[in-house]
Structure 1
Amino acid sequence: MLHTILLILHVISVVLIIGLWVANFKPPKVLPGQFHSALLAFITGLTMYILATSNGAQINHMGYGIKMLIALAIVVCAFIGQKKYKQGLPVSTGLAHAVGGLAVINVIIALAIH
């Protein structure tokens, strides 16, 4: 039951990151909601990984490690971008697309390791 709740929150947070990225493609923005969603995705993903390892499930540790590093990069990029957005400063195109693009890459990796 806990795993299901975490998975639902994880999927919703990833959908928000990608959806807000697509909705704000031009001009590129990183909204505070993307940062909060990235943080939620990271926390729920890490929690699901810990639960899976504690239950003795056979998992791809390298795949999850790569996903966690990418998720951490998304959190950092989203944090920087939302700070600039709150200050009224322009967000670079690369930073805005890094948040959404890395989220898409993480979804592809998740599908590949399952």
Structure 2
Amino acid sequence: MDVVKYLFVAVHLLSMAAIVGGWFARFRTPSVTAVQLIGACGAVLSGLILVGLAEMGDGSLNHAKIGVKLVLALAVLGAAIVGTLKARKDQPVSTGLAHAVGGTALINVLIATLWH
């Protein structure tokens, strides 16, 4: 069971790297990329699976932290969907929307590491 957990941890970390890395790569000309959308989907799904796996085990979870992270992850996913749809229709993606995707994901990473 540990192998499965570690695989989903790896997927979760790679998903967050795709979101934040895509944001840093396009920082001067902000846009939302398909890689960020895929990363947002992967982060939400792998995060939910990791919570489910942790609940099945004997460990305890900080449900307030999980709730805050889920709300932020869904906000990132929603902004990534809107930004990607605008980019596909050749409509301009606002700077605020592009920075919301990366910035909110970065805040989510900071919450994950600093909130104990």
TM-score normalised over the length of structure 1: 0.96
The range that moved more, 67-76 or 52-61, is 52-61
2:30 corresponds, among 25, 28, 31, to 28
> What is the distance in 2 between the residues matched to 1:36 and 1:105?
19
One-letter code aligned to 1:65: G
Residue 51 of structure 1 is matched in structure 2 by 53
Asked if 2 retains the 8 angstrom alpha-carbon contact of 1:60 and 1:113, the reply is no
Count of aligned pairs between the two proteins: 114
Q: Work out the percentage of aligned pairs sharing the same amino acid.
A: 39
Alpha-carbon shift at residue 33 of structure 1 (Å): 1.1
Query: Aligned residue for 2:77?
Result: 75
Report which stretch shifted further, 77-86 or 53-62: 53-62
Displacement after TM superposition at 1:20 (Å):
0.6
RMSD: 0.9
Q: Specify the code of the residue in structure 2 equivalent to 1:99.
A: V
SS in 2 for 1:27: coil
1:112 equivalent in structure 2 = 114
Runs ≥4 residues deviating over 4 A: none
Shift of residue 57, structure 1, vs aligned partner: 1.1
> 1:22 Cα deviation (Å)?
0.7
- Cα shift readout 1:57-108 (whole Å, capped 9, x = no counterpart): 1110000110000000000000000001111111011100000000100001
| AA aligned opposite 1:36 | I
Distance 1:88 1:22 in 2: 21
Q: Please state how far the C-alpha of 1:26 moved relative to its aligned partner.
A: 2.0
Q: Unmatched 5+ residue regions in structure 2?
A: none
Please give the TM-score of this superposition, normalised by the length of structure 2. 0.95
